Amino acid sequence: MSTQTSRIAVVEQHSLVRLGLETLLSGSTLLTVVALAADPSELPSPAAQRLDVIVYGAPPVTGPSFAKTVDALALSGRVLVVADFAGWQPVTEALRAGAFGCVSKQADEEELLRAVETVALGGLHIAPGLATRLHSELRQPASTPAPALAHREREALRLLATGLTHGQIARRMGLTEATVSTYVKRIRNKLNVRNKADLTRKAIELGLLQDEEFRGNAALASGYSPAA
């Protein structure tokens, strides 16, 4: 009597890591790798192919786009996030976005296989090495959502984070420098930030710096690196 295997997809931007995951998972008699992708957009639509688990190798930078990606992948199957889980990648964020499990990229082969097999059966898996971190995150008080920024405030924040001065922003937006200064003061008060580096972080978290050129300029302007 044959046992039906779980259908697995691997989403990982680095080809060598992607192939390594395929080799590891294909060695299990309980799993069958049916799809490989460098980007979530390359996966077949949910209607085209049933997936039991999507092993998502998350990039080091997160923010709103991270949660949106996990949420979108969850439409196609149960998501297991494999990430560095540095300061930018809270375990709770992955779970709230719909993930069924979290494993560090430093996990050994046995741990990863156990995680995939658990999630394939509908279970929730948090790697032992992340348990203390999860407990700590859950004990933190819930943050109050920051007040929404107006459209022109968001634009001013985006330009400020790329390294432009108030005068340059004023010329770009067709405003007076005094008006730009007023916008920046409002933004600081709404987001409760006081320095340029924190404003840059907020711009990235709000998804305002999606373009790589803007990200590079912002990092140079503030001395802040999202991958740090």
CATH architecture of the domain 151-222 equals: Orthogonal Bundle (1.10)
Total number of residues shown for the chain: 228
All CATH 1.10.10.10 domain ranges of the chain, comma separated, are 151-222
Q: List Cβ neighbours of 95 (8 Å cut-off, separation of 6 or more).
A: 102
User: What is the fold, at CATH topology level, of the domain defined by 6-139?
Assistant: Rossmann fold (3.40.50)
Lowest-pLDDT range of 25-29, 45-49, 56-60 = 45-49
Token pair listed for 103: 């494993």
pTM of the model: 0.62
Q: Fill in the DSSP letter of residue 17.
A: H
Q: List Cβ neighbours of 58 (8 Å cut-off, separation of 6 or more).
A: 66, 69, 81, 82, 83, 89, 94
Token pair listed for 16: 């060598």
Mean pLDDT on 56-71: 80
Give the range with max mean pLDDT: 106-120, 186-200, 201-215: 106-120
Mean pLDDT on 13-24: 95
Token pair listed for 33: 């790798």
CB 100 within 8 A of CB 125: yes
CB 200 within 8 A of CB 188: no
The angle at the Cα of 189, spanning 199 to 211, to the nearest 5 degrees, equals: 25
Between 93 and 180, where is the model more confident?
A: 180
All CATH 3.40.50.2300 domain ranges of the chain, comma separated, are 6-139
Lowest-pLDDT range of 20-34, 92-106, 138-152 = 138-152
* pLDDT grade for 219, boundaries at 50, 70 and 90: very low
Percent of the chain clearing pLDDT 90 (strictly above)? 45
Residue 34 has pLDDT above 90, yes or no: yes
Residue carrying structure tokens 């297991």: 80
Residue 227 has pLDDT above 90, yes or no: no
Percent of the chain clearing pLDDT 70 (strictly above)? 83
Residue 126 has pLDDT above 50, yes or no: yes
Task: Report the DSSP beta bridge partners of residue 83.
Answer: 104
| Cα gap 8→208, rounded to integer Å | 33
